[in-house]
Structure 1
Amino acid sequence: MEIQSPTDVDHLAPQIWPVYATVFGDFESYELWRADLFDRHAARAGYRLLTAVDGSRPAGTTLAGFGWGYTGQRGQFWSDLVCNSLPKAITDEWVGGHFEVVELAVLPEYRGQGVGRALHDKLLESVTGRCLLSTSDDPGDPAVRLYLSSGWRKLGVLRPGVQVMGRSAA
């Protein structure tokens, strides 16, 4: 498995979409996902995209997973949602200028092989300061276990079933 940091994100969107749709399934079409999420995020300051590529398949390369994030600021939808959901003392410390892990996805057939951890670690490799993400609050969820074992901690509840986690990068 090779973790790549592609520079031509525009070209990769059609390859990332099937993985996104399989893992999350929250957009009706590629066009909506592209306009409402992918392109908007790719234009943000500090944007990083990583892909996990399996070159061992006979047909060539297969995208096994991806991750992306950017520098989050107040005035952005998710940052403001966090500010409206968590206590002010927490948001004053954590929200604004933080690195936001927005998406981390691995196809089911590649899970349990360290792909998610490799994406996570590479995505945060040179990040200094505060990092935020939202995820399930189910302690049995593999993503939650990954984050907890990587130094993340629960900061509060975004909505029932969804927590906000934070990590101070060294």
Structure 2
Amino acid sequence: MTDDDVVIGPLDLASRVDEALAVQALAFGLSDDEIGVRRQIVLRHITYPGARALGATTAEGRLVGFVYGMPNDRAHWWSTVVEPYLRSHGHDSWLDDSFVITELHVHPRHQNRGVGRTLITTITDAAAEPRSILSAIDIESPARGLYRSLGYQDLARHVLFPSAPKPYAVMGAPLPLHRRR
């Protein structure tokens, strides 16, 4: 099932960062302080080489979902945090030649309609890298189910990020991602 009222396309994340973070706050449950911190992170990330974003917008132009990512760089903060966890499981090579899904969020009213699936498959289809990696809260959730259905597998679990209250799982998948039959 897809959300026929939503169009997926390129997103100028810098100019629509506040709308994107409003979607993330609803989908992910962020406080105003967390939004402020993430705003600076997003604005920095989108300046990185190869970073790109897609948005899901309604016919009226309202942003109801977004994804952004970039080719992984071992020097980036995220990679430095997850590297020891991946290395301990023999998966640190996944940090090379991978496209990172940095954020993927869909407004709760548009979830379970194919929007997240279309966002992530569209952005990874344009990746030059042979695989993709991401991190997700380490619980059984609809997001983790979506990632598994696309071919992502757990590479490391119980990953602790500074200041994050819950552990994460790092997941990886070869590209292109699986499609529904």
Q: TM-score normalised by the shorter chain: which range applies?
A: 0.7 to 0.9
Tell me whether 124-133 or 108-117 shows the greater mean CA deviation. 124-133
Equivalent residue in structure 2 for 1:15, among 19, 25, 46? 19
- For residues 18-97 of structure 1, the aligned pairs below 5 Å read 18-24=22-28, 25=30, 28=33, 31-35=36-40, 37-55=41-59, 60-87=60-87, 89-91=90-92, 93-97=93-97
Q: Judge conservation of contact 1:64–1:107 (CA < 8 Å) in 2.
A: yes
Q: Judge conservation of contact 2:13–2:20 (CA < 8 Å) in 1.
A: no
1:168 matched to 2:171? The reply is no
Q: TM-score, normalised by structure 2?
A: 0.81
The count of residues paired between Structure 1 and Structure 2 equals 162
Q: Judge conservation of contact 2:132–2:172 (CA < 8 Å) in 1.
A: yes
Q: Deviations over 1:75-121 (max 9, x none)?
A: 11111111122225310x21134210010000111111111111111
Q: Judge conservation of contact 2:125–2:175 (CA < 8 Å) in 1.
A: no
CA distance in 2, matches of 1:98, 1:53: 27
1:129 matched to 2:130? The reply is yes
1:117 matched to 2:108? The reply is no
Question: What displacement does 1:10 show?
Answer: 2.2
Residue identity in the other structure for 2:169: Q
CA distance in 2, matches of 1:26, 1:153: 30
SS of 1:86 mapped into structure 2: helix
Question: What displacement does 1:20 show?
Answer: 2.0
Q: Judge conservation of contact 2:8–2:55 (CA < 8 Å) in 1.
A: yes
Residue identity in the other structure for 1:12: R
Q: Judge conservation of contact 1:27–1:33 (CA < 8 Å) in 2.
A: no
Runs of 4+ aligned structure 1 residues displaced above 4 Å come to none
Question: What displacement does 1:21 show?
Answer: 2.0
SS of 2:155 mapped into structure 1: strand
Q: Judge conservation of contact 1:79–1:96 (CA < 8 Å) in 2.
A: no
Q: TM-score, normalised by structure 1?
A: 0.86
- For residues 97-116 of structure 1, the aligned pairs below 5 Å read 97-116=97-116
Tell me: CA distance 1:53–1:94, structure 2 relative to 1, closer, same or farther (3 Å). same
Indicate the structure with greater strand content: 1
Q: Residue 148 of structure 1 aligns with which residue? A: 148
RMSD across aligned positions (CA) = 1.9
